Structure 1
Amino acid sequence: MNLPSFLWLWRIAAWSMGLTLTGYVLLAMTGGVLYYTRSKQQQRSAWLRPLHIGLGTAIVVLVLVLLAIGIVGTLGEYGRLGHSFHLLFGLSVVALVLASAWSASRIAPERPWARPLHVGLNSGLALGLAAAGLSGWQVVQKYLP
């Protein structure tokens, strides 16, 4: 089949993954400050929690963009999915990000289970992002001339 080059798509994916990793680090930092101020019962800046929520929302959007690019690019190049472990790792990241966002929306004094679940999911997300990033790098190498 004579398909156009998907190089532009991989550039968007590379930027999206880079922004996702940067956002994850910023989320970990802001989450750490939120935890510290909460545990020490200190006053925190009014902008910190909205920034944390905004970064989390951005991560959800970026990961869904990466999912769409992966599906479109792989189907366009191969006509089917499942050529590597990257599909499994990518779907795991999507599931962890969505579960983390859901658990974040549940955090409240009357639901003490939500905060540890949110933190635990984000810890697992670090491993998922590392696995998806490394396997994605291998996949993209197949497409480069």
Structure 2
Amino acid sequence: MPIRIQTADFDVSAELAQLRMENPKVGAIVSFVGTVRDLNDGHSISQMELEHYPGMTEKALETIITQAQTRWDIADALVIHRVGPLLPLDQIVLVAVTSAHRGEAFKACEYIIDYLKTEAPLWKKEQTPEGAHWVDARDSDDTALTKWQL
């Protein structure tokens, strides 16, 4: 289960090709790429800074992926999350899931990103014309988790 927290950008195509080549039984790859928007809650965003808790962030992501693997028949999962200063249009996160069939991969990918948004120790600070501020968790992200609770 590859998990990387990094400042450098990533090449989605290369990452998916590598993931696909690791298992000839893979029939589906589902991916999600999150990017920096230039507007959030009506405020212009000139920059976003992402911080994390080294070691703890990776452990939380491992737990989320392991939970997805126990719920769905997936071959593998990849999470790459960037930290540091980012500009609008920059890639933030890649979540990719492989499985024999698309249904399992879609569900697991959505599950991983939903839990990553709320459970991983990552913090966002946005730079706006009004100044910098930390971004609180969205109610919609918390609501998204309810569909996964058993």
Per the TM superposition, whether the score is higher than 0.5 is: no
Bigger fraction of residues in helix: 1
Q: Find the structure with the greater CA-based Rg.
A: 1
With the length of structure 1 as denominator, give the TM-score of the two structures: 0.27
Larger RCO, structures 1/2 (Cα 8 Å, 6+ apart): 2
Bigger fraction of residues in strand: 2
